[in-house]
């Protein structure tokens, strides 16, 4: 079973599978890009990434929660595009609850004896990702997607789809 994990963002989207790591840049160096244009770019870039990644059985992504305003609209739009493109490639779709991912990441880090009280979620996800792979050169979204991937594999979320 081949999974491609996704960390959706409003400006960049991280992708991770053990043999495939990429960040989709929806801004492309521009300071302001309206949401419809970003979603259009996501559709094209994600479709290309799915082809480059090879046949994928499941696309798994971190669920988004309501933050309010434009960010929520952008993130929910991104998830809709990700699901639509994955469906066109006949890939199953699995979402991972953010709270479950956070709990797993902290627990994994504590078991490894590397947790520190002063760590924020971004630091925790980077530290956990580095337990599984060499994350030098990874950005924040790639580390998050790496955690989504390993959480899913360890918890057999794809079997529940």
Query: Are 144 and 14 spatial neighbours (Cβ–Cβ below 8 Å)?
Result: yes
Q: What is the model's pLDDT at position 148?
A: 96
Q: What is the Cβ-side half-sphere exposure of residue 8, based on CA atoms within 13 angstroms?
A: 27
Q: What is the DSSP letter of 159?
A: G
Closest CA to 148 of 94, 90, 85: 94
Pairing of strands 58-62, 92-96: parallel
pLDDT (tens digit, 9 = 90+) per residue, 53-95? 999 999 999 998 777 788 888 888 999 999 999 999 999 999 9
What angle, 0 to 180 degrees and rounded to 10, lies between the N-to-C axes of helices 121-132 and 98-111?
Answer: 60
* CATH of region 3-160: 3.30.420.10
Q: Which residue has the tokens 């990700």?
A: 82
User: How buried is 35 (Cβ within 10 angstroms: 0-12 exposed, 13-18 middle, 19+ buried)?
Assistant: middle
Q: Which pair of tokens denotes residue 54?
A: 């090879």
C-alpha 79/C-alpha 94 separation (Å) is 11
pLDDT (tens digit, 9 = 90+) per residue, 92-142? 999 999 999 999 999 999 999 988 888 888 899 999 999 999 999 999 999
Q: What is the model's pLDDT at position 1?
A: 85
Q: What is the model's pLDDT at position 73?
A: 86
pTM of the complete model: 0.91
Domain limits, the chain: 3-160
């Amino acid at each position: 079973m081949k999974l491609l994990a996704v960390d959706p963002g409003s400006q960049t989207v991280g992708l991770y599978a053990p043999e495939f790591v990429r960040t989709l840049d929806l801004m492309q160096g521009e300071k302001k890009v309206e949401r419809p244009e970003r979603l259009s770019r996501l559709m094209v870039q994600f479709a290309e990434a799915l082809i480059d990644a090879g046949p994928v059985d499941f696309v798994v992504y971190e669920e988004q929660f309501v933050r309010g305003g434009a960010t929520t609209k952008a993130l929910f739009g991104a998830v809709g595009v990700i699901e639509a493109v994955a469906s066109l490639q006949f890939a199953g779709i699995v979402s991972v609850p953010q709270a479950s991912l956070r709990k797993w990441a902290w627990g994994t880090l504590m078991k490894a004896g590397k947790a520190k009280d002063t760590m924020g979620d971004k630091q925790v996800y980077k530290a956990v990702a580095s337990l599984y792979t060499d994350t030098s050169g990874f950005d924040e979204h790639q580390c998050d997607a790496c955690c989504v991937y390993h959480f899913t594999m360890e918890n057999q979320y794809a079997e529940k789809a």
